Structure 1
Amino acid sequence: MHPEMEQIRCAIVRGGTSKGIFLRANDLPADPARRDAVILAVFGSPDIRQIDGLGGADVLTSKLAIIGPSSKADCDVDYTFGQVSFEKAFIDYKGNCGNISSAVGGFAIDEGMVRAVEPVTTVRIHLTNSGSVLTAEVPVKDGKARISGDFAIDGCPGTGARVTLDWSGVAGGITGKLLPTGKAKDVFHIDGREYPVSLVDAGNPLVFIHAASLGMKGTESPAEIEGDAALMAVIEKIRGKAAVLCGLTDAPENAALQSPYNPFFAIVSPPADYTAINGKKVRAGDADLVSRLLFMLKMHKAYPITGTVCTGAACRIPGSVAWEALGERGKQARTILIGHPSGVIPVEAEAREAPDEPGGVAVTRLGVYRTARRIMDGYVYVPKASC
């Protein structure tokens, strides 16, 4: 043990198209302020390079998973997600991360927190950020989560064992309602213009807007969107107003500081041809709608799982912005194909008529598939002065 540093068990784990630092709850201070100080030191935040920690200096790799014994009798483990800022000394716990969630079941099995059952172990995960329950079906071999397989996901090279995630129980997990405003569509008035939007909460709350409402085609790359400062300013004004309606901030102008993670912001458009950021050609027939998504004030280079889940739910709400952009095949099929900057992601989305519910529907199935694997584990050293 180094006299000037604390030694903490940790693992770096890829879940889907994201990568996170996994920590055991019992290895962290119980006091929230001290805990967050330790976590910021682990990541090397705040610093845009995170050079003095394990963070990857990217919104998709500056992610935290705290895993512990379940506080719910019907679940196997507690999972707390944190989006760690590399620009401020701030960890946003106001949401879920579906990609990182896909690695939680395998991690719990490998750590001996859940008994391995071959060929598939079902892990019930308590999402402490929202109080929801996520079910993961994890392939298992020889007592450990399987890694090898033939399932591929756009946005991650290679193939792996397919992990199935059932998000059907997460509707309204953050705001308390599938439709936070009670309506399938609202109109925001900002700077003298009208912006039709839909606010939907499933997995995480999202703001959906037509690309045309922002003067966009909808197939632009993340770099093109981020490079347009005026467009990004309008997006944040719209997102800020939505954050107030979702109860996540007290004023639109404070959303960037108080709730940079949620709500996500999805720019949707009908199916169209485009070239993904990896050079892959995506044809109009490959997808049922196209979306570009922003979170943590940055454009996502692929598509987050909670965003996928929420987009699937929104597409099942007649009259919503996402439903309006959805192609006819997607309205009829069980699985919706979402075109994103790195390719296409499927989501199983089903709903039943529910006249007494806002939007007239109740979501009954939200299923997605991912791959995941542990990359390293050992100890991270944190200067005692940081804690």
Structure 2
Amino acid sequence: MASSFAPQIRIPATYMRGGTSKGVFFRLQDLPEAARVPGRARDALLLRVIGSPDPYGKQIDGMGAATSSTSKTVILSKSERPGHDVDYLFGQVSIDQPFVDWSGNCGNLSAAVGPFAITNGLVDAIRVPRDGVAVVRIWQANIGKTIVAHVPMAGGAVQETGGFELDGVTFPAAEVQLEFMDPAAEEEGAGGAMFPTGRLVDELEVPGVGTLRATMINAGIPTVFVEAQAVGYTGTELQDAINGDARALAVFEAIRAHGALKMGLIGDIAEAAKRQHTPKVAFVAPPKDYTASSGKAVRGADIDLLVRALSMGKLHHAMMGTAAVAIGTAAAIPGTLVNLAAGGGERAAVRFGHPSGTLRVGAEARKSGGEWVVTKALMSRSARVLMEGWVRVPGDSF
């Protein structure tokens, strides 16, 4: 008797690490026709690829690895936008809920976009040198921003191996320099303002928590910064100190939700549950010594400040690339909580401590008409192809 079950289909895909994240990369043209446009079919397909929603929280039956850093998908296509090579769309897949969050970028995976685009024929060959550095102009479609990636080339191929070390990634690789142009995010309801409330520091009222000083910024990704000591922390915490504490996670989610409301990202507090990717919430503190998750000692004298950030409801194991852009941007503007934690004053770059070690991020800031303008944020990451071929899903799953 013929089976009534749909056979699996296979879709060309590449599994890549970018920065301290990894995800499944697709060319738009390779997706099944129904998934080439935004909507239910695309979301259902990506959920099935990653293995979500999974009430066990493990994503065993998919490509995800049960953390926000590894539950990610990317869709790339050749750009028809003047001055750009490739369009980059990022989908943050929920682990235990049936939704894909399209509201922001992934800064870490941004490092893998240029290498993938070159290797998969999405960048005109005339723009790619045989040796040296290829400059790939990326249109970040989630937030409508330009990212410029500087991708090393060797012998006509992307150079992936090298000596660049990135805390949070075990092995060294080739350095990919990223420029996030005009990083102040244009978020619906926020009027495209870097500081949507018009203030560098706000009094944020959070029922059940209290009134906290907060810097709320749209740069790289909308982010709510609070002071570590105000929420009972030192800024040296590692993942287990917070992710195993249900009360702490609830406090940070409340801060995030009320920050989203004050930033104009949502109209009602209930909407925050379906918008988990943005905004991020982070806490900052002046520099001090601590031991990173690898066991490596981080000296307070070697860093400018401490930052811990939450992603998709959990403390991140290192730092989201987009949040690093927010950190660099806020640090460059005197008077923000990030800037004050770093000692105040004007600065073009900061090195901050995160759970896995340290990261340096720069920003070009200037005053124009009495308002601060940040023209670009700069950061180095690395990227590597982990596996390529086809990903398989049941044909009736989307």
Answer whether TM exceeds 0.5 for this pair: yes
| Structure 2 residue 35 is matched with structure 1 residue 24 | no
**Out of 14, 20, 38, which is 2:17 matched to?**
14
1:313 CA displacement: 0.6
1:1-387 mapped onto 2 (5 Å cutoff) = 4-28=7-31, 29-31=35-37, 32-47=39-54, 48-114=57-123, 115=125, 116-117=128-129, 118-174=131-187, 175=190, 176-191=192-207, 193-255=210-272, 257-327=273-343, 331=345, 333-357=347-371, 361-387=372-398
The 1:57–1:229 alpha-carbon spacing in structure 2 relative to 1, beyond 3 Å, is closer
1:217 CA displacement: 1.2
Poorly superposed stretches of 4+, deviation over 6 Å: none
Q: Distance in 1 between matches of 2:107 and 2:205?
A: 32
Aligned to 2:329, what secondary structure does the other structure show? helix
One-letter code of the match for 1:382? V
Most deviating of 165-174 and 57-66: 165-174
Which digits, 9 at most, give the CA deviation of each residue in 1:24-47, with x for residues without a partner? 112222342111111111111111
The number of residue pairs the alignment matches comes to 380
Which digits, 9 at most, give the CA deviation of each residue in 1:307-334, with x for residues without a partner? 1111011112222111111136xx4653
Are the equivalent residues in 1 in contact too, given 2:331–2:347 (CA < 8 A)?
Answer: no
1:369 CA displacement: 0.2
1:172 CA displacement: 2.5
Aligned to 1:285, what secondary structure does the other structure show? helix
Q: Distance in 2 between matches of 1:90 and 1:81?
A: 13
Are the equivalent residues in 2 in contact too, given 1:96–1:306 (CA < 8 A)?
Answer: yes
Are the equivalent residues in 2 in contact too, given 1:240–1:251 (CA < 8 A)?
Answer: no
Q: Distance in 1 between matches of 2:249 and 2:268?
A: 18
Most deviating of 238-247 and 89-98: 238-247
Are the equivalent residues in 1 in contact too, given 2:332–2:346 (CA < 8 A)?
Answer: no
1:365 CA displacement: 3.3
Are the equivalent residues in 1 in contact too, given 2:145–2:181 (CA < 8 A)?
Answer: no
Q: Distance in 1 between matches of 2:28 and 2:263?
A: 29
Q: Percent identity over the alignment?
A: 41
Most deviating of 108-117 and 12-21: 108-117
1:355 CA displacement: 3.9
The 1:53–1:268 alpha-carbon spacing in structure 2 relative to 1, beyond 3 Å, is same
1:3 CA displacement: 6.4
1:351 CA displacement: 1.0
Q: Distance in 1 between matches of 2:351 and 2:134?
A: 27
Aligned to 2:49, what secondary structure does the other structure show? helix
Are the equivalent residues in 1 in contact too, given 2:333–2:346 (CA < 8 A)?
Answer: no
Aligned to 1:371, what secondary structure does the other structure show? strand
Gaps of 5+ in 1: none
Q: Distance in 2 between matches of 1:189 and 1:64?
A: 35
Gaps of 5+ in 2: none
1:50 CA displacement: 1.3
Q: Distance in 2 between matches of 1:54 and 1:172?
A: 30
**CA RMSD between the two structures:** 1.6
Aligned to 2:370, what secondary structure does the other structure show? coil
Q: Distance in 2 between matches of 1:308 and 1:375?
A: 24
Are the equivalent residues in 2 in contact too, given 1:207–1:239 (CA < 8 A)?
Answer: yes
Are the equivalent residues in 1 in contact too, given 2:13–2:26 (CA < 8 A)?
Answer: yes
Q: Distance in 1 between matches of 2:179 and 2:391?
A: 33
Are the equivalent residues in 2 in contact too, given 1:241–1:251 (CA < 8 A)?
Answer: no
Q: Distance in 2 between matches of 1:245 and 1:8?
A: 42
Are the equivalent residues in 1 in contact too, given 2:88–2:138 (CA < 8 A)?
Answer: yes
Aligned to 2:379, what secondary structure does the other structure show? strand
Most deviating of 61-70 and 333-342: 333-342
